[in-house]
Structure 1
Amino acid sequence: MSIKGKINKIIDLSVVDGPGNRTSIFLQGCNFNCFYCHNPETIRHCINCMDCISPCPTKSLTNENGIVKWNYKTCINCDECIRVCKHLSSPKIYNWTVEQTVERIKNNMPFIRGITVSGGECTLQYEFLIALFKEVKKLSLTCFVDTNGGICLKNLKQLVDLTDYFMLDIKAFDNDEHIFVTKKKVDIVLENADYLASIDKLFEIRTVTINGMDNKNTVDKITKMLSKYIKQGHKIRYKIIKYRKFGVREEFSKFIAPSEKELEELKSIAIKNGFEDVIIV
């Protein structure tokens, strides 16, 4: 039986999820609970509470033997089901085999250079990723992973070998601050950053910056930690991301982005520590 993945959505053509035009695949489920998450409906799996069925204006959600079934053909993507969900989930999930997913990817050729798998946290479904990447490689496409780094990647050697590059979110360097943002410790994330950089598979580090958090410490410590690999000739981009409230849960929408002056200071810190490719978005 073919392995199935729980897919939240697919963006067929994306230019912001790695180099070139790419098909971006967002898997359901996450081991973090970041307060500023822009797609909190990907955090948990549907518990089939049925609360989303009656609000659906096109009756695209039905109760089939206690399971919420989604008819994507009649769905108008109004997201009313997501708005009423109290469980940080979505009923709009593709339970697709590797073969079904590859067929969708093939529809986008020859307009893409590769695929990027994100989430949620995609490495939670590492068996699906391994099977998918094996097939995608046959199409001469590159495979990127967008991850929060919360799972020890040294234990997933087959996945790492199949992945061309990783894009790693580091929410904070300080452990207490990382717990504040994600509800999880930072140690595994930093271990993964060092590991991926050491094998030259770290394409990009990303940090969301928020006014009032110790952004300077985060950027300074991360870039100093990885500077030895930059000196060895490894190319690692640092993407400094301004906090934006769009998509964030209402109770966390009170936060604001740092000033433009602070963002430029953060960029200068990264450059001073040896990073050449530093961008603010």
Structure 2
Amino acid sequence: MAYINKIILNTFIDGPGSRMAVFMQGCNLRCLYCHNPETWNLCTNCGECVKACKKGALYFKDGRVKYNKDLCVKCDVCIKVCHNNSTPKYTDMSAQDIFKTAYDNRDFLDGITLSGGECTLQYEFILELFKLIKENTKLTTFIDTNGYMEFDVLKKLIDVTDGFMFDLKALNRENHIKLTGYDNEKIIKNLEYVSKMGLLYEVRTVLVEGYNDSVEEIEKISKYIFNLNDYTKFKLIPFRPLGVKGKLSNMKQFDEEKFEYLYDNSKRILQSRLKE
């Protein structure tokens, strides 16, 4: 069983082609700019969300908060009142449950992508699911990750995964610590190994003013990706405050003119490997 935050049955931004994206609950980094902090932790069943829900979509059963999606109006007040960066709306699902959904929609899909949160925290579930996908369909299997996992876990996942998408917060170690609370040594090691194995489909970086948006940092990241291999795509994403909690919740959206300047600098290095 795994904790599933949500499933998008058809998306074109989570890997190549048409994909089913599965977002898993739980994360091991604490990014200041996270747009989905409600995916960080599991519910503690404190009941604050039950009291706040005016539609009766949340209730207690056997000491746990339960969710009735038929009564939910998607106001997200439950997420807003949660002091634990969680949500009562994630569900327990088996690998067979997810596989059946993918299998039933296989004629409209090129593959399945697991994301989060940080999906590799539930790597045993991924192994089970991806083996089912491989044995019974022609769908490709992708993992969208922050890269912060043990190396032996990565090696197991590589055996059943067709591609990885890495969210590289910063290449500079100090910048990475400021943004996430953790250094990036493990992430860089894993990213380079995936690249060597020919599976590093995409790297992306969210530009956050005052943290990782210097010309030097973006140039360094662009050259780093260029020299890694001849195939990985890079994507620059401007910060936006939607969904952000805490320190950066009042930060303005990243300056458009500055973004264009940094994008053009990266484009000169990576050319067609920089994604639009």
TM, length-normalised to structure 1 = 0.90
Mapped to 2, the partners of 1:174 and 1:228 lie a distance apart of 17
Structure 1 contact 209–257 (Cα < 8 Å) conserved? no
* 1:6 positional shift: 0.3
Q: Is there any run of 5+ residues in structure 1 with no aligned partner, and where?
A: none
Q: Where does residue 145 of structure 2 map in the other structure? A: 147
Mapped to 1, the partners of 2:40 and 2:92 lie a distance apart of 16
The number of aligned residues is: 274
Percent identity over paired residues: 38
Structure 1 residues 255-274: aligned runs within 5 Å: 255-274=251-270
Q: Where does residue 198 of structure 2 map in the other structure? A: 200
Mapped to 2, the partners of 1:143 and 1:153 lie a distance apart of 19
Q: Where does residue 32 of structure 1 map in the other structure? A: 29
Matched residue SS, 1:192? helix
Q: Where does residue 221 of structure 2 map in the other structure? A: 222
Mapped to 1, the partners of 2:74 and 2:11 lie a distance apart of 19
Mapped to 1, the partners of 2:12 and 2:68 lie a distance apart of 29
* 1:279 positional shift: 2.6
Worse-matched range after superposition: 153-162 or 187-196: 153-162
Residue number among 113, 126, 129 corresponding to 1:129 in the alignment: 126
* 1:80 positional shift: 1.8
Name the Cα RMSD after superposition. 1.9
Structure 2 contact 23–114 (Cα < 8 Å) conserved? yes
* 1:188 positional shift: 1.1
- Is 1:172 the equivalent of 2:170? yes
Matched residue SS, 2:203? strand
Mapped to 2, the partners of 1:22 and 1:258 lie a distance apart of 29
Residue number among 108, 113, 130 corresponding to 2:110 in the alignment: 113
Q: Where does residue 279 of structure 1 map in the other structure? A: 275
Q: Which has the higher helix share?
A: 2
Residue number among 217, 220, 232 corresponding to 1:236 in the alignment: 232
Identify if the C-alpha distance between structure 1 residues 156 and 267 changes in structure 2 by more than 3 Å, giving closer, same or farther: same
Worse-matched range after superposition: 217-226 or 34-43: 217-226
Worse-matched range after superposition: 271-280 or 239-248: 271-280
Structure 1 residues 62-141: aligned runs within 5 Å: 62-137=59-134, 138-141=136-139
Identify if the C-alpha distance between structure 1 residues 257 and 78 changes in structure 2 by more than 3 Å, giving closer, same or farther: closer
AA paired with 1:237? Answer: K
Structure 2 contact 123–153 (Cα < 8 Å) conserved? no
Runs of 4+ aligned residues of structure 1 deviating over 6 Å after TM superposition are: none
* 1:175 positional shift: 1.4
Q: Where does residue 50 of structure 1 map in the other structure? A: 47
Matched residue SS, 2:97? helix
Structure 2 contact 178–211 (Cα < 8 Å) conserved? no
Structure 2 contact 204–234 (Cα < 8 Å) conserved? yes
CA deviation map 1:201-247 (0-9, x unaligned): 101110000223342333222333333343xxx31110000111111
Q: Where does residue 252 of structure 1 map in the other structure? A: 248
